[in-house]
Amino acid sequence: MKARRSRVPLLALCLSLPVLVAAQIAQTPPAPPVPQAGGPAPASPGRPTVVLGGRDLQVPVTIRPAGPVVALAPLAQALGGELSPDESGESSTLRIGETDIVLGVGSAIVTVGDQIVSLSQPVTRGEAGLEVPIDFLSKTWGDLSGYSFDWRPQEGRLAIGTRSAREIPVALDVVHLQAMTTVVLQFPEAPRYDLVQQPGVIEVRMLEDRLAPPADLPQVKDPLVQGVSITPQGVRLQLTPGAAVESYVLENPFRLVFDVHQPSTVTVPGGPPVTEIRDEGGIRTIVIDPGHGGTETGAIGPSGVAEKELTLILARDLEARLEQRLPVRVILTRNEDANLHWDTRAAIANQNRADLFISVHLNSSLGSGARGAETYFLSTQASDARAARAAEAENQGDATPPPGAEGLDAETQQDLQMILWDLAQTRHLTESQRFAGMVQAELNQTLQIRDRGVKQAPFRVLVGADMPAVLVELGFLSNPEEETKLQDPAYRSQLIDALVQAIARYKQTVDAAEAASAPAPPGTAPRATPGATPGTR
């Protein structure tokens, strides 16, 4: 990523130019600009322009203290993209090819496919609609469609071009652990590729770009991956017959990851029984995690009520209400006052092949005035200092290593935890963010409580959960008024109703998306998407 240039001198220049130009006109008439042969006319001072292939685009640009922002809707029309507001009105989705980009006004965090991306400044709303910074363009159309974006502050011009073909090195890692093989292809920059999957074979075909295979390609000896070949044209994975595979992308550095496994039914030691894995899509199984338990009491209210007691009551009520209203299977990570390691909670959800994971907690603050609900989804970095403190408080607790990790040293355990974060929850962050927004909106609307917003933080209980996952703080036990309410069954019922409504809304959107993407009945012609290439970056 290029280092950002300071925008303050440009802003001062833009503000002072009209005065200087007016004074100069009174003395000497300006010489007409001389355009370069075949190029666009120079930009007028104070009026930034956008140029694509020598053609001026009617795309408004606004200079802000943190840098220029560009109107998104007209740019989407020019570069190819479908921009639509979310049904909740809280966010918008930009679709480029087969990739959805979710963004919201006032947030400098967007999701690009399954990835969380940070921007140099928040998305804003101007006269022409949503406005985005230049790095948003580089991280969307740049990475997905091969465009280049060059902001030239001296000219007040954004020049858009196309990247030439590149030769990109690739590194290969193949790791087999706990009946799963993970294949990682690592690149110094994001290539343009098409992913083609056939029975027993996965192909990564380069588009425009070419690969530089490693000098010493490791020989693959694996029970699930029979071989890996790399040529300038792409990568080919030969799988064991019957093996299932899932793929996803990680950033910084760019990695294309394949998880290969044989479908099977597994058991979590000490956890709820695991039923047969089903192939249906949509939201079928929901795991609810009552925070804390056993020696870990969690927050303690002024009257002495413990967080662990109320979270278990809330989780049981939520389980009953969900099973009454929705066709879902609900599993609690604990159904009694017992110690349960963070990693075991996520493992219970993973081994039950859950479609949604909800960790229920109650908040606490040094002061007694804090109130309201907060909803979190996972990030290695907290969205603000308050979120960081909340994660630190919740992460204090049972340090007993999860089953199978007792013999590992602390550094190795930490490395494994980061691998779990990196290779599991990352691909679900888009949906976690979307679901968290629905939960927070329902809590705000139903209870008319203070909106403390959707936030990100590195909560340990969410690390490794291989499905959309959120942690919801349903109130402040440190606030005597909220502590009293939380002990009132009628008030807790309102909280449960809000959560059920949010889950129902999310289930509806996911089920509808699954139905829309289901294979067409025999004899039905598939609906084509103009200009879209499945699996293309």
Listed by start position, the domains of the chain span 8-31+40-162, 167-261, 285-398+409-516
Task: Pick out the chain residues at pLDDT < 50.
Answer: 1-44, 264-279, 380-384, 386-388, 391, 395, 398-425, 457, 461, 522-537
pLDDT of residue 513: 77
CA distance 63 to 56: 18
- Asked if 359 contacts 459 with a C-beta cutoff of 8 angstroms, the reply is yes
pLDDT of residue 43: 40
What's the predicted TM-score (pTM) here?
A: 0.47
Sign of the CA dihedral with 170 first, then 206, 431, and 121 last: positive
pLDDT of residue 366: 67
pLDDT of residue 500: 94
pLDDT tens figures, 37-63: 334 444 445 688 999 988 899 999 999
pLDDT of residue 51: 92
- Measured at the alpha carbon of residue 233, what is the angle toward residues 229 and 235, in degrees to the nearest 5? 30
Question: Which has the closest alpha carbon to 158: 71, 33, 77, 96?
Answer: 71
Q: Which CATH architecture has domain 8-31+40-162?
A: 2-Layer Sandwich (3.30)
DSSP state of 138: I
CATH of 167-261, one of 3.40.309.10, 2.60.40.3470, 3.30.230.10, 2.170.130.10: 2.60.40.3470
- What lies within 8 Å, CB to CB, of 196 at 6+ separation is 202, 203, 205, 535
pLDDT of residue 247: 80
- What lies within 8 Å, CB to CB, of 90 at 6+ separation is 104, 437, 441
pLDDT of residue 391: 46
- Asked if 98 contacts 536 with a C-beta cutoff of 8 angstroms, the reply is yes
CATH H-level, domain 285-398+409-516: superfamily: Zn-dependent exopeptidases (3.40.630.40)
pLDDT of residue 33: 41
Q: Which residues of 324-349 are buried (b: 16+ CB within 10 A; e: fewer)?
A: eebebbbbbbbeeeeebbbbbbbbbb
pLDDT of residue 371: 80
